[in-house]
Amino acid sequence: MKKVKDFLWKPGMKVSEMLDAFDSLGFQAHELSEAAKVVLKMKRSGAKIFLTFTSNMVTSGLRGFFAQLCKLKIPDILVTTSGAIEEDIMKAMGEDFEISSFYADDNALHERGENRIGNLVIRNESYMKFEDKMNEFLMKIYEKKKRIMVSELLREIGLMLDDENSILYQAAKNNIQIYCPGIADSSFGFQLFMFQQKHKDFIVDVIQDMNKVITELSFDEKKGLISLGGSISKHYAVFAALLSGGFDYAVYLTTSHSSSGSMSGATTQEAKSWGKIKDDAEAATVHGDVTITFPLMMCSVLDKLKEEGFLENE
């Protein structure tokens, strides 16, 4: 049995060295170290890697890190929520989100046209500029194609953006599929609705994306999942993998707990009862704020992948 060891700082300590030391620290530090090991095994084995995340993570500064991971070709497939798409586009347009407080005066924020997400703020003006740009994007896409899958739609938009820190841009540039099963649930979805009122023959086909993601997977290939948070993005990925035998590797980073019975709180162990993760899969579940746990885990992984020559487009 592994023994607990004291954590000690060393001058010039790398993130990967710190995560290695976490392995003997206990509690969630140990789990985070285990998660890093699983992600490394995914990449070393050549597994097809899903990265799933929710919109609040794109509101935060993780947005550019997701784009960078796409540039480095760490994930093969992204699954996210509609809010993440619109906020990526807003930031690509040059809109700034601000850090406020979890205890801000929300009535005062509302009067100023500011919308709070935790301790972050998005201004109404950002949504107004987004709406104007979306109409421009959709018209260009409509002129090319009247019926389109969500993944195709997001690729087309990504190709129209010019921002190295954009998830859509880097995914399109590096041929990484983005799936967004809940596309209607946001200002992005509302703009699709408004556009369709004027162009009745414009169809955004969500169901064909399901056919695409299922046929992309096979029983023979290894599959890995890095799931941040939960909700529809997490379930879409695990359900797609279920139909081809389940994931060989899985890492869940979340603030939710299994006592709620929610998808966000469901552990990798629970997923085995459904066949979403294989019985012998290497897996880890880490509880904690993803803006802390994910950069720590992935920077450690990237350090080691760089040393091993796995990274592309450095």
Q: Which of 37, 48, 272, 276 is catalytic?
A: 276
Q: Are 198 and 95 in contact (CB under 8 A)?
A: no
Catalytic residue status for 3: no
Q: Are 307 and 295 in contact (CB under 8 A)?
A: no
Coil, helix or strand at residue 207: helix
User: What pairing do the DSSP bridges indicate for beta strands 114-117 and 120-123?
Assistant: antiparallel
Stated as kind and residue range, the H or E segment containing 156 is helix 150-160
Question: For residue 255, what are its two tokens?
Answer: 């603030």
Crossing angle for the helix pair 15-22 and 27-45, to the nearest 10 degrees: 120
What does the alpha-carbon distance between residue 79 and residue 51 come to, in Å, rounded to a whole number?
A: 6
User: Nearest to residue 75, comparing CAs of 149, 169, 178, 181?
Assistant: 178
The torsion of the CA quartet 170, 175, 179, 183, rounded to 10 degrees, works out to: 60
Q: Are 298 and 62 in contact (CB under 8 A)?
A: no
User: Nearest to residue 283, comparing CAs of 8, 47, 20, 24?
Assistant: 47
What does the alpha-carbon distance between residue 302 and residue 314 come to, in Å, rounded to a whole number?
A: 11
Residue linked to tokens 């392995």: 23
What does the alpha-carbon distance between residue 282 and residue 300 come to, in Å, rounded to a whole number?
A: 18
Q: Which amino acids are annotated catalytic?
A: 276
